[in-house]
Amino acid sequence: MRELGVQTLLDLLGIFVFALSGALAAVRQRLDVVGMVVLAEITALGGGIVRDLVIGAVPPAAFTSLGYVLTPLAATVLVFHWHPQVARLMPAVMFFDAAGLGLFCATGTTKALEHGLSPLHAVLLGVITAIGGGVLRDMLSGQIPSVLYDRQLYALPALVGAAAVAAGWAADLHGSAVTAAAAALAFALRALAMRYGWRTPRPRGVTDRP
C-alpha cells in the first residue's frame, strides 16, 4: 500500500509539471483560459491515457482519479495568475517539460511491466507515456513536435530512463526508489542537453533547422 501511495504521488507530480508546461505554452501562444486548461490537461494526461489503453487498464486512470483531473487545473490556476513569476523561477517551459519527461518515462515503464509487458515493449510504452502529452501539446499550439527532431535531446533521455527501469526490473530491483532514480537519470540527461546544447545526429549533409 505504501509503494502504491508513493507511485501515485510520483505520477501526480509528473502530471503537475507537465500541466505547467502546457499552461505556459498556452500563455506563450496568447490563448485564453479555455486554451490553457485544454493544453494543460492534454499535456499532463495524454501520454498516460495512451499507455493505459495499450495495456488494457481501462478506463484509463485519468478517468477514474479525481486527482488526475484536478492537478492540471491547479497548475492552470497557478500559471493563469502568476505566469510571469512561474516563467522566471525556472528556465520556462523546458524545465517543466524535462521534469515531467523523467517522471513519466519511469512511471510509465513501471506500470507496463506490472501489467506483464516484456522489458522491450515496456520501454517503448514508457517513452510513449513520456512524450505523448508533449507531442499533443506542440501540435495543438501550432508547433512541430520536438520529438520529431529531438531538439536538445527529448526522446533519448526518456529512452534511457525507461531502459533503466527495465534493467532494474530484470535484476529484480523494483519499487519507488528505482522509479525515482530512473526519473532523475532521464531528467539529468535532458537538463544537461539543454545546458550544453547536446543533440542527436542528423543525416550527413543535413544542417540545423533555421
C-alpha 59/C-alpha 52 separation (Å) is: 8
In single-letter form, the type of residue at position 75 comes to A
Question: What nine digits make up the cell of 110?
Answer: 513501471
State the maximum Cα–Cα separation within the chain, in Å, rounded to a whole number: 54
pLDDT (0 to 100) of residue 105: 94
3-state class of 9 per DSSP?
Answer: helix
The pLDDT assigned to 117 comes to 95
Could you state, in order of their start, the residue ranges of all structural domains in the chain? 2-196
Q: What is the pLDDT of residue 2?
A: 47
Q: Provide DSSP, 158-178.
A: HHHHHHHHHHHHHTT--SHHH
Determine the 3-state secondary structure of 100 from DSSP.
Answer: helix
pLDDT reported for residue 87: 73
Tell me how far apart the alpha carbons of residues 22 and 16 are, in angstroms, rounded to a whole number: 10
Quick one: pLDDT at residue 91?
A: 65
Distance, CA of 129 to CA of 134 (rounded, Å): 10
Distances (CA, A) of 176 to 10, 25, 79, 107, 154: 9, 30, 29, 9, 23
Say how far apart CA 131 and CA 201 lie, in whole Å: 19
Contact between 86 and 20 under an 8 Å Cβ cutoff? The reply is yes
Q: Mean pLDDT by 10-residue block, N- to C-terminus, for the chain (210 residues)?
A: 63 85 89 95 93 93 90 95 79 73 91 94 95 89 80 86 96 87 94 86 69
Q: What pLDDT does residue 90 have?
A: 62
pLDDT at residue 128, as a whole number: 94
CA-nearest of 9, 31, 10, 13 to 22 is: 31
Long-range contacts of 165-173 (CB under 8 A, 24+ apart): 165/105, 165/106, 165/109, 165/110, 165/113, 165/122, 165/123, 165/126, 166/109, 166/113, 166/119, 166/120, 166/122, 166/123, 166/126, 167/119, 169/110, 169/113, 169/119, 169/122, 170/119
| Residues composing the chain | 210
**pLDDT computed for residue 1 by the predictor:** 43
C-alpha 59 chain-centroid distance = 20
